[in-house]
Amino acid sequence: MKKTKILSVLLAGTLALGLIGCGDSKTDDKTITIGVSPVPHREIVDQIVPILEKAGYTLKITEFDDYDLPNTAVQDGEIDANFFQHIAYLNTTNTEKDYDLTYTAEIHIEPMALYSNTVKNLADLKDGATIAIPNDTSNEARALRLLQSAGLIKVAEGELITPKDITENTKNFKFTELEAAQLPRTLEEVDGAVINGNYALQAGLDATVDGIFTEDVDDESIKNMRNILVVKKGNEDSEKIKALTKALTSDEVKKFIEEKYKGTVIPVF
């Protein structure tokens, strides 16, 4: 008799948990979770909170300070989407980590630039000067191509190039490879640093003003540097991801980007 009562209590508890779980599932359908970098992505995403509220959705935003965790979080289903990276970085991550991620929209591009605390012009970089560059595969290649465009070096053909692929370096520049987030802090220690747009903005640097050389965002070769809204494959057609994509590519967001960043972040939708 006691065993029967205990079993009944356990079954009732299990049923109750099941009902609670069903309730949570319905709530989750109207809750969108997104991972972002602090600047400019968080600032942009903040603009769509009221847009999504009007559409019946609650947006929960998580900030990440690195480039690894946001993709892992989407891959593992911990968040619905992320907004921090460009197309080339996503492609590299999918290949290197065997992830199954895709994107629903191209949102903006952030011009990458070479910055320096010691010189104002490219010609003033001395023989043997040290230049810091990002150490992740896609951004390192982007930085080296920027330096080639500036006439400082020449590099071999190829998508994912490293300092080993430099074919001409007449001024004997030395390259320090660092995590992208650390680059602004190195400006006191190196002669120059090629810094990603988001980390430059966080450090109060303006590519259009402070950069001693800034990449041409209209160059066809950097179209894969457009920042994107990323989700796990199979989820891109869900109603909440459609709502998120629509909000992030709205006229309100385009106007905000243009007025807030004045060329340091450029909408591409």
Residue 66, domain extent: 30-110+224-267
Report yes or no: 245 and 87 within 8 Å, Cβ to Cβ. no
pLDDT in tens, the chain (269 residues): 433 333 333 333 333 333 334 434 345 799 999 999 999 999 999 999 999 999 999 999 999 999 999 999 999 999 999 999 999 999 999 999 999 999 999 999 999 999 999 999 999 999 999 999 999 999 999 999 999 999 999 999 998 999 999 999 999 999 999 999 999 999 999 999 999 999 999 999 999 999 999 999 999 989 999 999 999 999 999 999 999 999 999 999 999 999 999 999 999 99
Residues 235, 178 share a domain: no
pLDDT value for 47? 98
Q: Of the candidates 155, 157, 162, which has an alpha carbon nearest to the alpha carbon of residue 137?
A: 162
Rounded distance between C-alpha atoms, residue 150 and residue 128, angstroms: 17
Domain shared by 127 and 211, yes or no: yes
Please give the distance of CA 259 from its chain centroid, rounded to a whole number: 21
Is 21 a member of any domain? no
pLDDT at site 5: 36
The alpha carbon of 118 is separated from its chain's Cα centroid by a whole number of angstroms, namely: 29
For 7, how many CA atoms within 13 A lie in the half-sphere containing its CB?
Answer: 4
Structural domain total, the chain: 2
- Kindly state whether residue 200 falls inside one of the protein's structural domains: yes
Query: Which residue type occupies 192?
Result: G
In a domain, 6, yes or no: no
| Cβ neighbours of residue 216 closer than 8 Å, sequence gap 6 or more | 149, 222
Could you tell me if 103 and 125 lie in one domain?
no
On the 0-12 / 13-18 / 19+ scale of CB atoms within 10 A, 265 is: buried
Residue 171 is predicted with a pLDDT of 98
CATH number where 182 lies: 3.40.190.10
Identify the pLDDT of residue 26: 43
- pLDDT tens-digit profile of 167-206? 999 999 999 999 999 999 999 999 999 999 999 999 999 9
Q: Is 39 exposed, middle or buried (0-12, 13-18, 19+ CB in 10 A)?
A: buried
Three-class DSSP category at 36: strand
The pLDDT score that the predictor gives to residue 43 is 98
Q: 159 with 245, same domain?
A: no
Say what the pLDDT of residue 221 is.
87
